[in-house]
């Protein structure tokens, strides 16, 4: 867990969410589950929310971008009370556009 700075340079802190995740198609089991980190102002509301965050984690932190776009994989999330839920996931390429005002 670590801290980062947001766009304004303010410190933002990551915390453990209580939800865990593992990826069985990567030869992981429940024994390999790791807790999902979130920013201290965020909350995970249900298993699907946890799976979406796990998919982001896979893509950005586990080199999941190396998977073929559109290829499906399974995510298992474990709730804070120990309930296991399985989700099918896939990555899609998307384009984000950003604009900002320029003084002329």
Domain count, the chain: 1
pLDDT, tens digit, 9 for 90 and up, residues 44-100 = 999 999 999 998 888 777 666 666 566 788 999 999 999 999 999 887 777 677 887
Degrees, nearest 5: CA angle 8-10-14:
125
pLDDT, tens digit, 9 for 90 and up, residues 1-15 = 455 655 566 678 999
Q: What is the structure's pLDDT at 8?
A: 62
The answer to whether position 68 is within a domain reads: yes
Which structural domain range is residue 55 located in?
16-90
The answer to whether position 95 is within a domain reads: no
pTM (predicted TM-score): 0.74
Sort residue 9 into left (φ over 0), alpha (ψ -120 to 50) or beta.
left
The answer to whether position 9 is within a domain reads: no
The answer to whether position 2 is within a domain reads: no
pLDDT, tens digit, 9 for 90 and up, residues 18-37 = 999 999 988 999 999 999 99
Distance from C-alpha of 49 to C-alpha of 6, rounded to nearest angstrom: 22
The answer to whether position 80 is within a domain reads: yes
The answer to whether position 48 is within a domain reads: yes
């Amino acid at each position: 867990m670590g801290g980062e700075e947001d766009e304004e340079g303010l410190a933002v802190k990551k915390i453990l969410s209580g939800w865990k995740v593992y990826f069985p198609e990567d030869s992981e089991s429940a024994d390999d589950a790791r807790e999902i980190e979130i920013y201290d102002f965020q909350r995970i509301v249900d298993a699907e929310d946890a799976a979406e965050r796990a998919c982001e984690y896979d893509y950005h932190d586990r080199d999941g971008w190396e998977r073929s776009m559109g290829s499906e994989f399974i995510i298992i999330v474990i709730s804070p009370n120990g309930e296991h839920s399985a989700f099918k996931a896939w990555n899609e390429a998307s384009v984000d556009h950003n604009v900002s005002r320029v003084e002329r």
